[in-house]
Amino acid sequence: MVAKFLATDALADIAAAWARAYRLLAPVREGQAVVYRPWAKDMHPFLGRPPTVSAKEALFPQTENLLTYTYRKDQNDLTRTEVFLAEPLPQEPTVLLGCRPCDARGRKLLDRVFLERGVKDNLYEARRKATIFVSVACDRLENTCFCHWTGGGPTSEEGSDVLLFTVAGGYAAKALTEAGERLLAALPEAPAPAQEELAAKLASPAEPGPAPDLSAAPQAFLALFDNMDFWMDQSARCLSCGVCTYLCPACSCFNITDEPSGMKGKRLRTWDTCMSALYTLEGSGHNPRVSRAHRLRNRVGHKFCYHPQEFPAMDKKPGGQPEFSCTGCGRCIKACPVSVDIRRIVHDILEKGGKP
């Protein structure tokens, strides 16, 4: 096996070299959090633990400018106004360093929404094509991780262009795509001990433990859809803060607003959350999801029922389990201020919804 080598003490220099050819987003520590920041002089990438935030912002920014517009009066006829539109500049080639396999798998789920469901999102598509994901394989699972429940794993290659494995003295890099091969071309080959350590890890990957069979989850969810006592019990602690959706690698809800300033303005796309009471508030004042129970039901249903139903042909995994709109990263569990655990909700759905 041929693997490239990123020495720990040379990681900052390697990142700086990449930053000369690409826009580089690297994970850095800020207080107790690990977040992605554009590369700057004297930065030191931190790959020691999974980033606190997901990698989806590289493809689907939390706030992005869709276009700018300018109104101009016709000087010969002031009753007429022309509108001039300007679209964003082309996307820069980008390298996202240090995400985890669960984040990289989220790219595929976002593709379903923005590229494979009817009209393509041109901005997302351009950003997707311009971005290289350099992921770090996990040596262990945290107690909030459940990627193996949803078809992933600590060393899953789905969605990554390069996969890094921790070895003595640094990281062994395995290129998974042509873009990944180009990125690694200038790096030295891993020394023999690192090659042997990588071969051993690939032969015996980290064992995440048994995973429950979730193949019946869509039908069990539908069986409980109108059982509001069940959903009120599940949502009793929920604050509707939305942190679960903002940290999720697969959530894709957004809102679009025009922000005018005199005769000029811009059209912004901003992340939205189905956990907000305003999310489904209609102009009439009616809200079809008036309670936390309704909103939590929608979030869980989207991930474990509606998505598999919408993409039935492509989502079927070996053994019959659908592919859910969840990568099992566990951020929603780890960051929830009141410890709502989506794993427990799914367990309860299977237990109670599967009964006749």
pLDDT in tens, 269-285: 999 999 999 999 999 99
Q: What is the per-residue pLDDT for 12?
A: 95
CB 300 within 8 A of CB 349: yes
Which residue ranges of the chain lie beneath pLDDT 50?
none
> Residue type for 3, please?
A
- Give the residue among 56, 58, 53 at the shortest CA–CA distance from 38: 58
**pLDDT value, residue 320:** 64
pLDDT of res. 106? 94
What pLDDT score was predicted for residue 356?
53
Q: Quote the pTM value.
A: 0.90
Which three-class secondary structure string do you get for the chain? Answer: CCCEEEEHHHHHHHHHHHHHHCEEEEEEEECCEEEEEECCCCCCCCCCCCCCCCHHHHCCCCEEEEEEEEEEEECCEEEEEEEEEECCCCCCCEEEEEECHHHHHHHHHHHHHHCCCCCCCHHHHHHHHCEEEEEECCCCCCCCCCHHHHCCCCCCCCCCCEEEEEECCEEEEEECCHHHHHHHCCCCECCHHHHHHHHHHHHCCCCCCCCCCCCCHHHHHHHCCCCHHHHHHHCCCCCCCCHHHHHCCCCCCEEEEEEEECCEEEEEEEECCCCCCCCCCCCCCCCCCCCHHHHHHHHHHHHHHHHHHHCHHHHCCCCCCCCCCCCCCCHHHHHCCCCCCHHHHHHHHHHHHCCC
Q: How crowded is residue 88: how many other Cβ atoms within 10 Å of its Cβ?
A: 12
Span 159-204, pLDDT tens digits: 999 999 999 999 999 999 999 999 999 999 999 999 999 998 888 7
Rounded-to-integer distance, Cα 78 and Cα 101, Å: 58
